[in-house]
Amino acid sequence: MRDIDLTLPSDDGLPIAGTLTLPEGVGPHPAVLLLYGSGRADRDSNAGRLQLNLGGPLASALAAEGIATLRYDRRGVGATPGDWRATGFTDNRDDAAAALRWLATRPGIRADAIGVIGHSEGAIHAMSLAARFGVTAAVLLAAVARPGEAALRWQGSMISCDLPAPLRPLLKRLAEWYLARIKATSTNVARVAGMPVNARWMRQMLIHDPRPDLRAITVPVLAVTGSKDIQVDPADLAVIRRLAPGAVETREIPDLTHMLRRDRGRPSVRSYRRLLRAPVDADLVAEITHWLARQLTVPRAQRV
């Protein structure tokens, strides 16, 4: 395979830095756009101490199947200029759409065979692209199927289970206070409890409802959530399967966590750093790759 570092234009002209990975051969090639979770994520889904290292394994596995990939640094991260704390949830969605349009016009890429893989927040934007921009197939990893505030509250309740019982009511009161402070802000960046936070992103995420996009997706979908994901409810898989009118396959993978690694122990955010010492789950990468190869490289009449 061959990696090409590049910049692509956003809707407001900001140059977005990324990597286009091309498989062997002349092409044109089918392609996949990679979208990652929230925060300061670079083109490989690495954000500070949370080094998911998701981009490289996916790009390599897809290239082996003859599929190109595009991944990029978010605003204010890596080689992309800007301020990530001032970037809204809708900015991330618009940048994903701009990247998809750029990919579809790239020489050597089949515009009629472009898929998208989204993880966590990236899965929400992948739903939007699949609903509006005519991608060929979508892979949704740890995707929520409920409004943002409801998803955040579920996540908070699961994380609080990791605390001693006497501390849980205190955490709940602090969370309610935090949400109220965020909702009362009007700036892109605000100080809450003395810390600068991306208030605009949070306000937009809280009110976003992915269900209208799910109802508009007619292309094939593979939705995967781990049984030990404590940031996204695995029960949302049933909602995705019910709402999306196209061909939908869902997988709840035993022991898989939000970090896309398996953990046989009790799920906890405190285990994340330990889990990230291992590579992303190989079986998950293989399943995603083989599913996308069927959707993007096999004629529809021959798919099984």
Domain boundary among 174, 191, 208: 208
Q: Are residues 217 and 79 in the same domain?
A: yes
Cα separation, 250 vs 43, whole angstroms: 26
Q: Are residues 137 and 176 in the same domain?
A: no
Q: Are residues 15 and 133 in the same domain?
A: yes
Domain boundary among 178, 208, 238: 208
Q: Are residues 265 and 290 in the same domain?
A: yes
Q: Are residues 177 and 293 in the same domain?
A: no
CA distances from 147 to 150, 232, 254 (A): 5, 12, 25
Q: Are residues 215 and 286 in the same domain?
A: yes
Q: What per-residue confidence (pLDDT) applies to 165?
A: 85
Q: Which CATH number characterizes residue 110's domain? A: 3.40.50.1820
What is the number of domains present in the chain? 2
Q: Name the residue range of residue 84's domain.
A: 2-146+209-302
Domain boundary among 179, 208, 237: 208
Q: What per-residue confidence (pLDDT) applies to 300?
A: 60
Q: Are residues 70 and 194 in the same domain?
A: no
Q: Are residues 113 and 186 in the same domain?
A: no
Mean pLDDT, range 216-234, rounded to an integer = 97
Q: Are residues 108 and 153 in the same domain?
A: no
User: pLDDT tens digits for 154-183?
Assistant: 999 998 888 888 888 888 888 899 999 999
The beta strands (E) that lie in 25-128 are given as: 29-35, 46-47, 50-51, 68-72, 109-119
Q: What per-residue confidence (pLDDT) applies to 162?
A: 81
Q: Are residues 171 and 98 in the same domain?
A: no
CA dihedral 303, 247, 58, 13 (to 10 degrees): 120
Q: Are residues 156 and 260 in the same domain?
A: no
User: pLDDT tens digits for 77-117?
Assistant: 999 999 999 999 999 999 999 999 999 999 999 999 999 99
Q: Name the residue type at position 114.
A: I
Q: How much is the mean pLDDT over the chain? A: 95
